[in-house]
Amino acid sequence: MRRAPASAIGVWESRLIGIVAATLVVFGIAAVYGASSIWAAQNGHPGGVFALRQLLGAVLGMALLVVVARLDYHILRRYAWPLLGLVAALLIVPLLPFTRAIAPELNGARRWITIGPVSIQPSELAKLAVVVWAAMLAAKKGELVREFRLGVLPFLVVLVPVLGLIVLEPDLSTATVVALLAGVVLFTAGARIGHFLVLAMIAVPLLWHEVVSVQYRLSRMVSFLSAGGDVAESSWQIEQSLVGIGAGQLMGVGFGEGLQKLGYLPYAYSDFIFSTIGEEWGFLGVILIVVLFGLYFGLGLRIARTAPDAFGMLLATGLTAMIGLAAILHIAVTLALVPTTGLPLPFISYGRSNLLVSLFATGVIMSVGKRRVVRGSRR
Please check whether residue 293 is in contact with residue 358, taking contact to mean a CB–CB distance below 8 angstroms: no
User: How far is the C-alpha of 40 from the C-alpha of 33, rounded, in Å?
Assistant: 10
Residue of 46, 33, 21 lying closest to 293 (CA atoms): 21
pTM of this structure = 0.91
- The answer to whether residue 238 sits within a structural domain is yes
Give the model's pLDDT for residue 63.
97
Residue 345 lies in a domain: yes
Predicted local distance difference test score (pLDDT) of residue 3: 46
Which one, of 274, 277, 226, lies nearest residue 252 by Cα?
277
Q: What is the pLDDT of residue 378?
A: 45
Phi then psi for 326, rounded to 5 degrees?
-65, -40
Predicted local confidence at residue 7, as pLDDT: 62
Residue 292 lies in a domain: yes
* pLDDT (0 to 100) of residue 375: 45
126 near 115, Cβ under 8 Å?
no
Q: Tell me the C-alpha distance between 359 and 366, whole Å.
A: 10
Please list the residues that pair with 77 across neighbouring strands: none
Tell the burial category of 233 from Cβ atoms under 10 Å away from its Cβ (0-12, 13-18, 19+).
exposed
pLDDT of residue 1: 39
- Residue partners of 349: CB distance under 8 A and separation at least 6: 28, 32, 269, 270, 271, 273, 330
Q: Rounded to whole angstroms, how far apart are CA atoms 112 and 283?
A: 34
Find the radius of gyration of the CA atoms of the chain: 21
Q: Which residues on adjacent β-strands are paired with residue 113?
A: 120
Segments in the chain forming alpha helices (H): 8-42, 49-70, 75-78, 80-92, 122-141, 153-167, 172-189, 193-212, 215-226, 236-248, 273-305, 310-334, 352-370
State the Cα–Cα distance between residues 151 and 192, nearest whole angstrom: 10
Asked whether the beta carbons of 246 and 275 are under 8 A apart, the reply is: no
Q: What's the confidence (pLDDT) of residue 227?
A: 54
Number of domains in the chain: 1
CA distance 139 to 315: 9
What confidence score (pLDDT) does residue 2 get? Answer: 43
Helix axes 153-167, 172-189, angle to 10 degrees: 160
Domain membership of residue 123 as a residue range: 8-370
Alpha carbon of 159 to those of 48, 79, 111, 130, 329: distances in Å?
40, 17, 19, 8, 22
CA distance 283 to 248: 7
Cα atoms in the Cβ-side hemisphere of radius 13 Å centred on 254: 2
Whether 375 is in a domain gets the answer no
Residue 378 belongs to some domain of the structure: no
Provide the 3-class DSSP secondary structure of residue 232.
coil
Distance CA 134, CA 159 (A): 9
Q: Does 376 fall in a domain?
A: no
Which pLDDT value is given to residue 226?
A: 65
Low-confidence ranges of the chain (pLDDT < 70): 1-10, 216, 223-224, 226-234, 373-379
The length of the chain in residues reads 379
Count the alpha carbons within 13 Å of 273 in the hemisphere toward its beta carbon: 26
* Amino acid, single-letter form, for residue 284: L
